[in-house]
Each structure stands twice: as structure tokens, then as C-alpha cells.
Amino acid sequence: MTAPRSPHRAWVEVDHDAIRHNLRVVRRLVPSASVIGVVKADAYGHGAVAVARTLVSEGAERLAVATVDEGLELREAGVQAPIIVLWGVGPDEAATMATGNLEAVVGDAHSIEALEVGGAPVGVHLKVDTGLGRQGVSPDAALESAAAIARSDRLTLVGTMSHLAVPGEDDAHTEVQLLRLARTLDAMRSAGIDPGVVHVSASGGILAGVAGPADAVRPGLALYGMVPAWAAGRAAELRPALSLKARAIRLFDLPAGVGIGYGLRYRAPRDTRIATLAVGYGDGWPRSHANDGFVLVRGQRAPIVGAVSMDGLTVEIGGIPGVTYDDEFVLIGEQEGARITAEEVAAERRTINYEVTTALRGRLPRLHLGTG
């Protein structure tokens, strides 16, 4: 896809054709499951509203966010699909949940009581902690919680869920988690309680081929063309959806021995040329990239040199002739057959690929391609 010329000095491009393709890949991997598209954290940095609209238009049955405010943002943008709030609801947010027609995740008596106090009807998903340990009711207490929801005049059990800790990495632990969930579901059904939509596998579970006792999946990472590190060999079909690009705001010659940037952390070993790009840690490109990492320009790699400041960084382009102010610099993405992936950038930061994209802040404009 050829992008129109961006009017910005630095920007993020989001390829919605890639997102559609990735959703189709997920459906091929789990053809019998409905899809809950995870768009929390601004759709992992890709732009929640635009991505949500694409996913819903392509048939995603539900969406998932982390907070009430993220859900309300989608509602205010006209997104009508069911939306799950994954990371808890406080007592002061209960009424807002109902107003926004949002579905809550509950995992203990406190969260159930908080929603009942709110006074308005709310659909809830009971989260069972089968072995991840962050959120959720224990399997031994799950039936009691499900019964409390079933008795409530204000709450409706629309789903039962869990989350896998090590899919694709520790099959024994994953099997234990799935067995605990299956036993919980059996107990609920034996007591006459409908668990609703059952969902356990996120992208890792999908790629590991772990279906479990579920009828829905929650892809997030895979929708954006990224995978956990262990699944790198299983990502051939997925297409990265995000690129980070910039144009130089200054091109200048740097004589040998002269330093640049805070702390003068880079001194030119020879006469060279420098490009200054308006991407810094205020945009989510951290200071750890001082004298570390590369960008692409004219299809060639150019090293990041010197300190990264809040609003900019510098690149050494002495070995790439002819660079002008019209050239695009690619920090994440592809150019003339060369590529810098989010995974490569993550390795430079000693982190994970989706922290890289999620860190890209809102002052970088999003240019959405292929939205129709």
C-alpha cells in the first residue's frame, strides 16, 4: 500500500489491510471461536477508535479494553459492539459502566458488590484464576461467585474467562490451567448456572494451538502482526501493521572530533553528515537508544548517534549520499526491501515488542491507511 505524503515531521502509519489480514489468520487458526478483539492501551499504540471500527466491520463479535475510560472513548466514537473492561471497575465507576453499556470483569466478592451498589444493570464476565495469579477468583470459590451473580437483580453473567500464563512454553502448566477451568465450568453447569461466553486464549494461546473449553478467543498482539518471543517461528502469515516514520528537521555536516547532543556522547570519528529527527523520549523513543539502534533512509541503515532528548534524536548519514529533507526516515517498518521490526527495537531495549508500540505517545499523529 502506498501511503500519501504525511504533512507531519514525525508520525505513525497504521495499515488496516494488515489488521484485516491478521484477523483472517486468527479465524483460520480457531475457526469455531468467536473473536474478542483487544484494543486496550490505544490498540497497542495503533489507535483504538480506528482499529475498533475496522475489527467490528470485519466481524469481530466483541472488543476488550483495560479501563472504563477506554471503553467510553469507543462508545463516544460510535462503536456499538459489546465491550469488555478487563482490569476491574471501582465503585464510583459502576454507574458509568451501565451508562456506557460496558461489560465488567469481576474476580472477587468486592468487585461484585461494587457493581451491585452502582444500582444499574451490568453484564459481567467472571474471571477464574487458574494459574496466572494476577486477577480472578480461585477455582474453589468460583461457583460461589457465579451463584452470587446469578442471584443478583442487577448483574448478568455474560461470560466466564481465564488467562494463560505460559502458553507455548510450559505445556504442563497450561494443561493444569485448562483442567481447572473445565472443572469450574462443569460445576457451574451442574448447578444450573450458564457460564455465558467462555474465553481463555489470547494471542499466545491461539498461536500455541490451545483451544481449551472455550468458545471465544481474545487476540490482541496477533491482530497487529506481532507475537510473543517464543512464537517467532509461527508468525510467517502475520503482517506488522505499524510503522514509525519521520523527516529530517535539520541536515548538517559534522567535522571529525566534534561532539553532539547532551553530554556530547557522540564524537565523529571522521567528517560525516547528521540528520536530526523530531522523535524523542517525549514521543516514546527512550533515552536507552543513545548511540544504539538504527533507522532506514534510502533503504539503508543509518545509526542513531548521541543522546536521545525529549523531542529529538540524531542519525549519522555520512555513508548514504544524497539524503534530502524530502526523504523518509523509518524507525519501525520497511523501506525498499529493508526492515526494522518492533522485535529488533525491543531487543535493543531489552523488552518486548508490544511495549515498543504501546509506548508511542499520542503526540505522534496516526496516519490510518486502508480504512475505506
CB within 8 Å of 15: residues ≥ 6 apart: 1, 239, 240, 241, 242, 243, 369, 370
Coil vs helix vs strand at 261 = coil
Phi, psi of 362 (to 5 degrees): -65, -20
SS (HEC) of 53-81: HHHHHCCCCEEEECCHHHHHHHHHCCCCC
Catalytic residue among 245, 262, 266, 281: 262
Active site residue 245: no
Asked if residues 126 and 156 have their Cβ atoms less than 8 Å apart, the reply is: no
The residue among 143, 262, 237 whose CA lies nearest residue 191 is 143
CB within 8 Å of 203: residues ≥ 6 apart: 219, 220, 221, 222, 223, 227, 228
Active site residue 127: no
Q: Find the helix packing angle between 139-151 and 171-190, rounded to 10°.
A: 40
Q: What share of the chain is helix, strand, coil (3-state, %, to 5)?
A: 35, 25, 40
Cα 344 to Cα 322: distance, rounded to the nearest angstrom: 27
The catalytic residues are 40, 262
